[in-house]
Amino acid sequence: MLTRLRVKNYALIEDLDLSFQEGLSILTGATGAGKSILIDSMNLILGEKASVEMIRSGEKEASVEATFEFGGQAPDPIASFLTEQDGEALLLKRQVLKGGRSFGFVNDRQVTVTTMKEIGKCLADLLGQHHHQSLLDPRIHLNLLDRFSFQGSILEGYQGEFSLLRKKEVELRETLQQEQISNEKRELYRFQKEEIDRAELKPEEEESLREERGVLLNVQRISSTVQAVKQALCEEEGSVLDRLKLLFKEFESVSELDARLKEKISQWQETIFSLEDLSSDLVRYGDLLGADPERLELVEDRVRLYVDLGKKYGKGYDAIISYREKIGKELHSLESLEDRIRDLKEEISQLKAKLCKLGEQISKERHKGAVTLRQRVEEELKELGMKGTKFEVSFIPISSSVAAVDLSSEAGEVFADENGLEEIEFLISPNPGEPLKPLAKIASGGEMSRIMLALKTVLAKVDNIPLLIFDEVDVGIGGEVASLVGKKLKKLSEDHQIICITHLQQIASYGDNHFRVYKTGKGKRTITVVKRLSQKERVEEIARIISGEEITELSLKHARELLNEASEAVNGK
């Protein structure tokens, strides 16, 4: 609730410091005393446009401060501005400089006027013509109707499914984009994998092929060399083996003369045996060795295959196979996109069907609530002297937009947003025969105040705006209707803190707190003063409203009677 309001150098106000309490606070005063100035100063706190013309003459700046206190959890976006040091208090301040600039502060932190306006929407409604009031904003009508019509669980369930649908649609779009981008890549990977698989590569095969290729390319040279070595070794006259054998015999004969030479006999024999084996191997190798153009071509092709694959995927068997494993994983991932797309489409289809069903249930409850709301608001307006006034809740189906999702089926076209299948707006026709119009189109300030009082009365338990300020609520009424308005304001103050500016004694008599607004002189200047009234002063003020500036015994008596009647009415007597 609002606990303190301080206004400095604003119009006729020099320095005003007011404390407020719970319940119904009444502000009265003569026409032109400055009651509207207080309303304008509150508008500044709530983020409305500032005018340098309102700065007190001769001053460089005007400022308004308001302190709000919360008995429980503060609503968003207010909670983010409260710290442990602040406790449950929120200080709003607005400065307007002579040069035209204005500044907003929340708990000494500078904020934009837009932020102040967002916070103001959570704190107060100024109910009168052209004032800051939340009920003129169609965006909150749906929230109020829902809170009036049903518990939030069904809507919370719908919003959870809607949020999930949004996420799935985003995921599907991203997956489809990824699939579109990946089509060429997938085909490339498939080709590369198939190319590597067709090659049937084997470990160490490339090295073996290169060796074989070297042999096949040099068959003639190898064959000639092997033949020459074989002939020199064992075939031609005076071959190496023949000469070694002759020398061995001579060496063997002299070894009998020296025992030390006998040790070398075995070496000679092993050498001869090795050369004989070598000769036999060369004979066999020569028989196997021969020119094979077809095999050479086959080996050449196989080596070229390794070279070509190496240029594409990495040099050598290990690098090529490693690349094949890598693209195999990529290909599996890309191919799984098709399965994911199919699954996502199925999930989205099921979610849309579920949302459509939940949305229809919510719409049904809203329509039932709208009928009850219409009946109760019209009853309230009738009691407030606005007989014949029509109130309706207009249901507007959601249309295609960025914020909407398409739930259309064979049954018909349906769109939905996070709040359901429709938008709503409160419509009013204050005069019989006139068409229904949005609340913001109502011209009369008095009518607007009473319409807002009726709405606030009916929605008292679901409307969480803590402070309601009524201006011009008494325009065009009197007598029993004025007394009823006072009673309704008093009743409404059980759920909200109420500040009411009135010219009627019937309404003023229902106040818990009473302030008088008046002008007085200070030096050569006129200032507006606001004074909290004692019980005696309150009787005198109500008497002044009754009889004018000249208070009579009769008007004092009437004032006391009004206060007693109001007290008895509140206490149910």
The 10s digit of each residue's pLDDT in 441-480 is 875 666 777 888 888 889 888 888 889 998 878 877 878 8
6 compared with 572, residue with greater pLDDT:
6
- Going by C-alpha positions, the residue among 508, 500, 409, 392 that lies closest to residue 450 is 500
pLDDT for the residue 427? 94
92 compared with 281, residue with greater pLDDT:
92
d(CA 332, CA 121): 54
pLDDT for the residue 165? 95
CB contact set of 126 (below 8 Å; sequence gap of 6+): 39, 42, 43, 46, 132, 133, 469, 471
Residue 63 — pLDDT band, cuts 50, 70, 90?
very high
As a whole-number percent, the residues of the chain with pLDDT over 90 amount to 37
pLDDT for the residue 215? 66
The 10s digit of each residue's pLDDT in 233-258 is 777 777 777 777 878 787 777 777 77
d(CA 294, CA 153): 83
Choose the weakest-confidence range: 171-185, 364-378, 403-417. Answer: 171-185
As a whole-number percent, the residues of the chain with pLDDT over 70 amount to 91
pLDDT tops 90 at residue 347 = yes
pLDDT for the residue 214? 65
pLDDT for the residue 459? 87
Cis preceding-peptide flag for 138 (omega within 30 of 0): no
Q: Which residue has the tokens 């609503």?
A: 75
Please state the length of the chain.
573
pLDDT for the residue 374? 95
* CATH superfamily, domain at 1-129+447-573: P-loop containing nucleotide triphosphate hydrolases (3.40.50.300)
CA separation (Å) from 433 to 5, 176, 208, 441, 454? 44, 56, 104, 16, 21
pLDDT for the residue 232? 76
SS3 264: coil
Residue 74 — pLDDT band, cuts 50, 70, 90?
low
Q: What are the boundaries of each domain within the chain?
A: 1-129+447-573
> Residue 82, exposed/middle/buried by CB under 10 A (0-12, 13-18, 19+)?
middle
pLDDT tops 70 at residue 338 = yes
pLDDT for the residue 329? 84
The 10s digit of each residue's pLDDT in 391-420 is 999 999 998 887 889 998 877 889 999 999
pLDDT for the residue 514? 96
CB atoms closer than 10 angstroms to residue 266: 9
The pTM (predicted TM-score) of the whole model is 0.67
Q: Which residue has the tokens 């149910």?
A: 572
> Which tokens in the block code for residue 394?
């207009």
CB atoms closer than 10 angstroms to residue 263: 10
> Cα 554 to chain center, whole Å?
65
Choose the weakest-confidence range: 123-127, 157-161, 514-518. Answer: 123-127
The 10s digit of each residue's pLDDT in 97-153 is 998 899 999 988 899 988 898 888 888 888 765 455 677 788 889 988 998 998 768
Buried b (16+ CB within 10 A) or exposed e, 343-371: ebeeebeebbebbbebbebbeebbeebbe
pLDDT for the residue 161? 94
157 compared with 448, residue with greater pLDDT:
157
At position 207, the amino acid (one-letter code) is E
SS3 569: helix
pLDDT for the residue 226? 67
The 10s digit of each residue's pLDDT in 284-325 is 666 566 656 676 678 778 888 888 888 988 888 899 999 999
SS3 string, 10-79, reads ECCEEEEEEECCCCEEEEECCCCCCHHHHHHHHHHHCCCCCCHHHECCCCCEEEEEEEEECCCCCCCCCH
Are the CB atoms for 494 and 506 separated by under 8 Å?
no
Between helix 317-383 and helix 293-313 the angle, nearest 10°, is 30
CB contact set of 168 (below 8 Å; sequence gap of 6+): 344, 347, 348, 351
pLDDT for the residue 371? 96
- Going by C-alpha positions, the residue among 326, 363, 372 that lies closest to residue 148 is 372
CA separation (Å) from 269 to 144, 263, 282, 360, 409? 117, 11, 20, 109, 102
